[in-house]
Amino acid sequence: MHPDKHPSLSSSNIIMDNPALEMRYRQTKIIFTIGPATSSDAVLKELINERVDICRINMAHASHAWTRGIIQQIKRVCGEVDRHIAIMMDIKGPEIRTGDIGEPIYLEQGQLFDFLMAVPTGDASQEGIRCVNVNYPNLINDVSVGDTVLVDSGLIRMQVMATLGDRIRCKVIIPGQFGNRRHINLPGVRVGLPSLTEKDQGDVAIGLEEGIDFYALSFVRDAEALHELRAVLTEHGSKARIIAKIEDQQAISNIDEIIDASDGIMIARGDLGIECPYEELPIIQHQIIKSCIKKSRPVIVATHMLESMIEAPVPTRAEVSDIAHAVLERTDAIMLSGETTTGKYPVECVKVFKRISQRIESLHDDDPTKEVYLPTPKGKMLRSAVYLANDIEDSGLVVFSRSGYLVRMLSSLRPKVPIYAFTDIPELFRNLLILWGVEPFQMDFSEDPETTINDAFAYLKRKKWVKEGQTLIVISNALAKDKVIDTLQIRTVE
């Protein structure tokens, strides 16, 4: 449950806090990635009290034993501080990596270099050309002469010159230091990797046993990958939501079908910025956020948001502008990666996110999102409720849900006021934590809708989210001559 009130920010010699902003609720959600810097009870408690919403576990660097332990620790700490957050498992997904090359070598511009489709048993070099194996033997059938091969986050660029039986011969275009087990990107190349690797399947099984709330699936290229994971979750009765990570050009080409098949999108700007021309990245981010809001799917902006704060105590001005831009575009959530796994200032990074988000959100003066398609009478009632709540000073929206649909629709309309969402389903409570502007609460429902509304008001007042005399817009069912009807009510907190 949420604490009695927003915890006040303590003074810090690192970040000056603005108490006025802390009085305002926050619409943009914060996701942090857990790691050595944040896996102690003390730091976890600090982060939860700073009101992070979701903890991400990066399975690219996590063993099953550590994963089990950290999930149980998060749940235990949440119970101790009496505020529950959601847990997201980020599945590594299919990726192409090189093998070991021994001592790092420097590749010169114009130099030829071979990628082998099998692990060499001896010296596999030909004509004095250095080589390394890759973990994807079918790569030679996916690439063509002239394709670009990017190694180590694009620091080394090569061009395919020929495919020679068991090897792909490339020419170095941009030189650099080549080390062991480097990641390979192939911009514009459709690769035949499986959606879920054997490792991914084992990771998903751990998540199912431990009750994970969100699965973030890496390198989603089309809707089929999501259907495959959905089938596994359905088979095991899991209500976990699937977040599709957008990381390459193929995903951009299929973005509409991916959004439709997913429960949310993560704009993973690391690999995406390598796969696509960097000047296109802001446009892609803008278009994906706009499409997700229109289709009522939550969207996360991730990667490099506060990269400098891995080592530095304050953000760069460019990072401040980047975060502000994402908040201005009304993304549902912003995410910290290395900043909170190995960074020196994990709690300060969350405070930076909070300060920027709340300041930018205070400028929100837009009408409800017009692009959201709400053709039914109930949908039009939701839009009317947002207009009404926006027009009433110091108002809020109260909604009751067992599926999350009404809450998701209200969130996508991006009202100026908080959305207080009540559910009696624990899994749904945690699923709602990702939605923009939504403050979810878990509470038992009464068979009498009026009793449920009164209980919700009493809860909000007791937890100091609302005060006496405040006007709230309530979307609920009501009994009318033994029939249940949808209602929009203007209520005053007694």
Q: How far apart are CA 1 and CA 465, in angstroms?
A: 13
CB < 8 Å & 24+ apart, contacts of 466-470: 466/396, 466/493, 467/493, 468/493, 468/494, 469/493, 470/394, 470/395, 470/396
Higher pLDDT, 23 or 370: 370
Neighbours of 487 (CB within 10 A): 14
In the predicted structure, residue 269 carries a pLDDT above the cut 80: yes
Q: How far apart are CA 168 and CA 260, in angstroms?
A: 37
Phi-psi region of 382 (alpha: psi -120 to 50; beta: other; left: phi over 0): alpha
Residue extents of the structural domains in the chain: 25-94+195-361, 96-185, 377-492
Q: What's the CA gap between 219 and 108, in Å, rounded?
A: 30
pLDDT of residue 175: 97
What is the arrangement of strands in the sheet containing 167-174, beginning at the earlier edge strand? 96-97, 183-185, 148-151, 156-164, 167-174, 112-116, 131-133
Work out the average pLDDT over 368-373: 94
- Taking only the tens place, the pLDDT of each residue in 300-339 is 999 999 999 999 999 999 999 999 999 999 999 999 999 9
For position 24, what pLDDT does the model report? 64
- Please, what is the average pLDDT of the chain? 92
Residue whose token pair is 């670009």 = 148
pLDDT digits (tens, 9 = 90+) for 337-353: 999 999 999 999 999 99
Q: Give the C-alpha separation, 72 to 210, whole Å.
A: 8
Is pLDDT larger for residue 22 or for residue 31? 31
Contact 267, 246 (CB under 8 A): yes
Average pLDDT for 463-479: 91
- Determine how β-strand 86-91 pairs with β-strand 54-58: parallel
% of the chain at pLDDT higher than 90:
83
Q: Write out the two tokens for 304.
A: 């490099």
Chain-centre distance of CA 467, in angstroms?
A: 33
User: How high is the pLDDT of residue 15?
Assistant: 41
Dump pLDDT digits (tens) for 184-234. 999 989 888 888 989 999 999 999 999 999 999 999 999 999 999 999 999
Residue that has been written with the tokens 């730091």 in this structure: 43
Q: In angstroms, rounded to a whole number, what is the distance separating the alpha carbons of residues 323 and 350?
A: 12
Helix (H, G, I), strand (E, B) or coil at 225: helix
Q: What is the DSSP letter of 4?
A: S
CA nearest to 267, candidates 199, 337, 316: 337
Which CATH architecture group holds 25-94+195-361?
A: Alpha-Beta Barrel (3.20)
Give the E-state strand segments of 167-268 in sequence order: 167-174, 176-178, 183-185, 214-217, 241-246, 264-268
User: 16 pLDDT exceeds 50?
Assistant: no
Average pLDDT for 448-463: 94
pLDDT of res. 7: 37
Whether 18 has a pLDDT exceeding 80, the answer reads no
Most confident of 346-355, 375-384, 443-452: 346-355
Q: Residue 419 pLDDT > 50, yes or no?
A: yes
Max distance between CA atoms of the chain, in angstroms, equals 89
List the one residue out of 17, 13, 51 whose CA is nearest residue 32.
51
Q: Give me the CATH topology for the region 377-492.
A: Pyruvate Kinase; Chain: A, domain 1 (3.40.1380)
Give the homologous superfamily in CATH for domain 96-185: PK beta-barrel domain-like (2.40.33.10)
Say which DSSP state 37 is in: T
Q: How far apart are CA 87 and CA 90, in angstroms?
A: 10
pLDDT tens-digit series, residues 69-108: 999 999 999 999 999 999 999 999 888 999 999 899 999 9
Tokens of 189: 């190349």
pLDDT band at 122 (very low <50, low <70, confident <90, very high): confident
